[in-house]
Amino acid sequence: MSTDFRHIGVSFGIGRYQPHSAAEVLNNQYGDCKDKHTLLASLLAAAGVRVYPALINSSHAIDPDVPSPGQFDHVITAVPQGKDTLWLDTTTEVAPFGYLAVPLRAKRALVVFSDKPPDFQQTPADPPFPTLWTFRIDAKLDDSGTLQGKVEQTMRGDTEVILRAALRSLPRAQWKDLIQRISYGTGFAGEVSDVTASAPESTEAPIKFAYTYQRKDYPDWKEHRIVPPAPNVVFPPGEEDGKLPASFWLGAPGEFQFESRVELPKGYSPDLPKKKDLQQDLIEYHSTYALEGNVLVSHYRVLVKASEVTGAGVKSYKEFAEKVIEDRDQFIPPSSGLAESAEAGVLGVTNRVRALPDSSDPMARQFEEEAKAAVQQGSPQGAIEGFKRAVSQDPKFTRDWIWLGETYLGLRQKDAGVAALRQAVESDPQQPLSYKVLAFALTSLNRRSEAIQVWQELEKVEPADHDIPTNMGNLLSAEKRYPEALPYLESAVRLYPQRPGPLLSLGLAYLRRGEDDKALPLFDKAIEFQPGASVKNNVAYELAVANKHLDEALRYALEAVHEEEAASQKVQLSKLADDDLKYTLSLAAYWDTLGWVHYQLGNLKQAEGYLYAAWTVQQFATVGYHLGQVYE
């Protein structure tokens, strides 16, 4: 009835109040709400099922003290079922059985019985089934920042009915345009294609649709960070004149399950956020993040238990929603200096420092803005004064303690910088990032034993933090504390099996312990996962320093030099870019490695040629030492 008979309402004269006969509606194949109820009631009566019309208003609550047909603007069907009532609306042409639109829920309806006086009854506040929305994207992100994948969605509930009606109203050739608009509306700015969907009229099961999705220049990939692609359904209520609304609509109770699977470019591993579990009486939010091979897997689950939050609950819900958005909008760096090495120091975590919470003190935030303005104006001393005022105003302002420490370190005021970073840790002992920034700073200052202590402190706070194994292993290895380093480095390789850094570090620790049989396969695997010149050069240099397996060292060193020279020859002076200048440093380093391998092999003439070339380009102390050994 709902699907096969069109809903057409014409309110002229007596037709506004009196339905057409069932036979006439059956013959016309269309009718308004009264007509369609009349036909449905006749058909059900023939089958032995008695139903009754129910008068209702879709726009506002009726006044039971005013007996007027003008109070009603719609007719639905009431089906008594013992003590309960089944409600049917024949006008929603592609809705699941028993579905009432939002304006008809929790409303008084006047049920007109044929065997007893009319009676007011309350329609249900929620649909007869839980709302469901599932979303899954299986995508691949390439080095250029293009994300391409397949999206599959399932919907049950209010959004489903809107989508079914829209699909049914359009020819199939225009479905792509509709899904494109839906994609935009849920925050996906890329292009859709290959759209498929289940039949809009098949309402017995949730609607399903799928499409191919492509997004070029995926947001923030240039900064080597991403937000997992998935919709969000939790939003804070807005304020009017500084006041929250008395109530806020959450939607019909139900569950939302979103899964995002993004295959990252080879060689990249994400710095995974912590899982999040947020619960209130009326709503829950859960998120998890994992790495399966080279695929970043993000799961989001929202459970809505009531359709509306009211009174004091609105403020509580607003705080809840803001925490959800903070989790959903956080950047995940797919290639992180944090877990690889401390070479980048504080600069390697700049983006994550920016994401730390603001101060709750408006004056502290103002002082921070003044400090940032001083940075933009090239006044580091002005920045220091601004950050100092901010943390004086709010001693718990972790972000500005870090900025203060970084600024001091940039001015080579080492002790002041380290002291400020220690204050950052004290301001929030549960914030892992503060420990990491301090540890990186100490490592860059060659204060390795202190850095080890900081990582150990973090390990007590957050034992499962993925950055601990690599960094602790590297520091302990640098201190020649190999028995302590090995368990950490082995753990790092288990966490990041395709990342060359941990593989090289573990291999080097084995090599220095004389366990060459364990070291060499790790070196080979590191080169397999990142076959570029850099990793080959690093392996060759470590073998040369150890004076072991020099034939393999020579092979890797030659390959690294040849690959880097070939790449540098593609540089055009007329189109010279800043990035092209890297070859000045890399070629000098690779020539130095190759020269040192030749020296260890006793090939002094070849060694001199490469080492002299490296010294001509860059006068590094290590290169000078190597060249001096040849001349000696």
Compute the distance between CA of residue 118 and CA of residue 75 in angstroms, rounded to an integer: 14
Q: Where are the domains of the chain?
A: 6-122, 131-328, 539-632
Confidence at residue 17, expressed as pLDDT on a 0 to 100 scale = 65
Band (15; pLDDT cuts 50, 70, 90): low
Confidence at residue 92, expressed as pLDDT on a 0 to 100 scale = 87
pLDDT per residue as tens digits for the range 94-116: 999 999 999 999 999 999 998 89
DSSP state of 453: H
Band (339; pLDDT cuts 50, 70, 90): very low
Band (578; pLDDT cuts 50, 70, 90): low
CB 91 within 8 A of CB 33: yes
Residue 520 makes CB contacts below 8 A (sequence gap 6+) with 507, 549, 552
CB 225 within 8 A of CB 294: no
- Asked if the model's pLDDT at residue 269 lies above 50, the reply is yes
pLDDT per residue as tens digits for the range 538-550: 999 999 999 999 9
CB 186 within 8 A of CB 162: no
Compute the distance between CA of residue 88 and CA of residue 100 in angstroms, rounded to an integer: 7
CB 121 within 8 A of CB 109: yes
Higher pLDDT, 378 or 150: 150
Query: Per-residue pLDDT averaged across 476-503, rounded?
Result: 91
Tokens of 159: 């959004």
- Asked if the model's pLDDT at residue 271 lies above 80, the reply is no
Q: Which residues of 570-599 are buried (b: 16+ CB within 10 A; e: fewer)?
A: eeeeeeeeeeeeebeebbbbbbbbbbbbbb
- Strand segments, DSSP code E, in 105-199 are 108-111, 119-122, 131-141, 147-156, 191-197
Confidence at residue 179, expressed as pLDDT on a 0 to 100 scale = 96
Band (54; pLDDT cuts 50, 70, 90): very high
Compute the distance between CA of residue 573 and CA of residue 570 in angstroms, rounded to an integer: 10
- Asked if the model's pLDDT at residue 340 lies above 70, the reply is no
Query: How crowded is residue 308: how many other Cβ atoms within 10 Å of its Cβ?
Result: 14
Residue 337 makes CB contacts below 8 A (sequence gap 6+) with 343, 344, 348, 349
Confidence at residue 572, expressed as pLDDT on a 0 to 100 scale = 75
**What is the architecture of the domain spanning 539-632?**
Alpha Horseshoe (1.25)
Tokens of 349: 């975590």
